[in-house]
Amino acid sequence: MGQSLISNNIRKLRFFHDEMTQQQLAEKVGVTRQTIIAMEQEKYSPSLELAFRIARVFGVPLEEVFSYDDESKSR
Amino acid sequence: MSFQEKNITVSLANFSLILTIYLISLFLMIQGGSFNSTNVFRLWGIVIALAVLVTIFATILTHILSAIVQAIKTGEENPKIEDFADERDRLIDLRGTQITYFVSSIGAFLAMLTFVLGQPPLVMFSLLIFFGVVAQIVGDVSRLVLYRKGF
């Protein structure tokens, strides 16, 4: 519960994809807008399947969307 | 607030109301000296029937109200409501159910303990339904906390 160790660039990637809205992204990957909001606020770590679907929407590899940084947050 | 959160809030309000009705009825029963098996089992029936009926009506009402609010917001004739549950909703629901079962198990154990203390079976039955409703309330609260704090 709380802040996730997985950070993401979803907000930035949405901006660079013609200011894609949270609703549009949610519809493309098959989740609710609330889940996209929770992910952007790093309050929810998506499943591997959802992570791949998001990366595919933006046409980038998974590592460009998500990163795991346990060291910086454990301090 | 998402549709799922609204649903949980309505459920929480329902079960809080049912618990209040149950406790008041039980209190009046004990005060009036009519704490007997017929009245206790009738109260059991009322609580279970209320839980089922109120849950059904509340779900329908939440759908209708959400559609009206969405229609006013967007101005569409057939507004789209995000009432489907995605992976996060399912995980939160699962965690909530886990907490509900945990609380009801503890409650069942405590209710059985009244036998050890030499209390009549009616006390055990009264506590069973009390902890059942409390478990549902605790489960709903934990779901709301998980939605707000993150999961």
Q: How far apart are CA A37 and CA A53, in angstroms?
A: 16
Q: Is residue A17 in a domain?
A: yes
pTM over the 0.90 mark: no
Cα–Cα distance between B18 and B21 in angstroms, integer? Answer: 5
Task: Specify the number of domains making up chain A.
Answer: 1
Instruction: Say which range, A23-27, A60-64, B72-76, B88-92, has the weakest mean pLDDT.
Output: B72-76
* Cβ within 8 Å, pair B84-A32: yes
In this prediction, residue B61 carries a pLDDT of 86
Chain A nearest-CA residue for B147: A38
- CATH of residue A39's domain is 1.10.260.40
Q: Is the pLDDT of residue A68 over 90?
A: no
All residue ranges of chain B with pLDDT < 70 are: none
CA nearest to A22, candidates B145, A32, B99? A32
Domain range enclosing A62: 6-74
Which residues of chain A does B5 touch, with a Cβ-Cβ cutoff of 8 Å? 34
Whether A1 maps to a domain, the answer reads no
**Is A37 part of a structural domain of the chain?**
yes
Instruction: Indicate whether A72 pLDDT > 70.
Output: no
Nearest to A1 among B82, B84, B146 (CB): B146
Cβ-nearest to A32 among B86, B146, B151: B86
Q: For residue A22, what pLDDT band results from cuts at 50, 70 and 90? A: very high
How many helices and strands (H and E) does chain A possess?
A: 6, 2
Q: How many CB pairs under 8 A join A and B?
A: 46
Residue-level pLDDT at B70 = 80
User: Which residue, A23, A40, A38, is CA-closest to B87?
Assistant: A38
